[in-house]
């Protein structure tokens, strides 16, 4: 398999700042010789307020991070995986969408998050992704020259059937960019991802959001590369 790199971010409510930060980190990763670079879930904007989010996002083709990543993939001659971006879907709703760019800058795979994070945590925090995002309906396998990637996003990793479907379709890698909360990350992050690797015999690559964000939310971080044996090969 080719050399890979995971970009850990702390995205804000300022899209322009996120694009600048993401570009700098992608360039740093590519400079190490990585042929595949992955960024976290919601790389373009971490905005918990639905109405503010709707006011600033664009359709996929007009999103600043999408446009920049297309150019970057071509310039750096890498496969660049925008872990996910919040974009306006064709029906006017909001999609949490993962995009894989080839070295020619073209999108070769797009996946909308299927399982949305609706949960009440013991510490009083509540999340209702379904109030903001439209769920995806289709699993997507990205066929790259060095591997077949099964595309997941964050909460998807809790559903083994999706990972197993990818393995049965020939995926050797599960790509699961994320923005786990701190409580769920401390309790479940490593065991979930190691379990998916072991049960499918796949590598797991997961770039994560990590740190304190605008609006008072915090994410767990701990971006991981995991072997099919369940061994953590790299961790941020």
> Token pair 């072997």 is at which residue?
227
75 is catalytic: no
Asked if 178 contacts 208 with a C-beta cutoff of 8 angstroms, the reply is yes
From the candidates 88, 154, 217, 231, which is the catalytic residue? 154
23 is catalytic: no
DSSP string, the chain: ---EEE--B---S-HHHHHHHHHHHHHHHHHTT-SEEE--TT-S-----HHHHHHH--BGGG-HHHHHHHHHHHHHTSEEEEEEEEEE-TTSSEEEEEEEE-TTS-EEEEEE--S--EEE-TTS-EEEGGGTBPPP----EEEETTEEEEE--GGGGG-HHHHHHHHHTT-SEEE--B--BHHHHHHHHHHHHHHHHHHHT-EEEE-BBEEE-GGG-EEE---EEE-TTS-EEEE-
199 is catalytic: no
From the candidates 47, 60, 113, 152, which is the catalytic residue? 113
From the candidates 14, 41, 60, 106, which is the catalytic residue? 41
Give the residue numbers annotated as catalytic, written as ranges.
41, 113, 154
């Amino acid at each position: 398999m080719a050399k890979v790199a995971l970009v850990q971010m702390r995205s804000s409510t300022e899209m322009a700042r996120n694009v600048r930060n993401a570009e700098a980190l992608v360039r740093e990763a590519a400079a190490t010789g990585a042929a595949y670079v992955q960024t976290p879930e919601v790389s373009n904007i971490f905005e918990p307020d639905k109405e503010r989010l709707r006011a600033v996002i664009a359709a996929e083709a007009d999103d600043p991070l999408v446009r920049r990543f297309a150019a970057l993939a071509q310039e750096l001659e890498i496969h660049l995986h925008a872990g996910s971006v919040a974009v306006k879907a064709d029906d006017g709703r909001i999609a949490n969408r993962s995009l894989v760019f080839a070295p020619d800058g073209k999108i070769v795979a797009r996946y909308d998050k299927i399982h949305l994070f609706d949960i009440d945590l013991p510490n009083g925090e509540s999340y209702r992704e379904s109030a903001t995002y439209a769920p995806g309906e289709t699993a997507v396998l990205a066929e790259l020259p060095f591997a077949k990637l099964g595309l997941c996003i964050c909460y998807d990793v809790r559903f083994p059937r999706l990972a197993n479907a990818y393995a049965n379709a020939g995926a050797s890698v599960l790509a699961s960019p994320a923005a786990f909360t701190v409580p769920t990350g401390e309790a479940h992050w490593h065991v979930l991802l190691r379990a998916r690797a072991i049960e499918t015999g796949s590598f797991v690559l997961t770039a994560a959001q990590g740190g304190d964000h605008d609006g008072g939310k915090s994410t767990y971080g701990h971006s991981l590369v995991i072997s099919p044996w369940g061994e953590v090969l790299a961790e941020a």
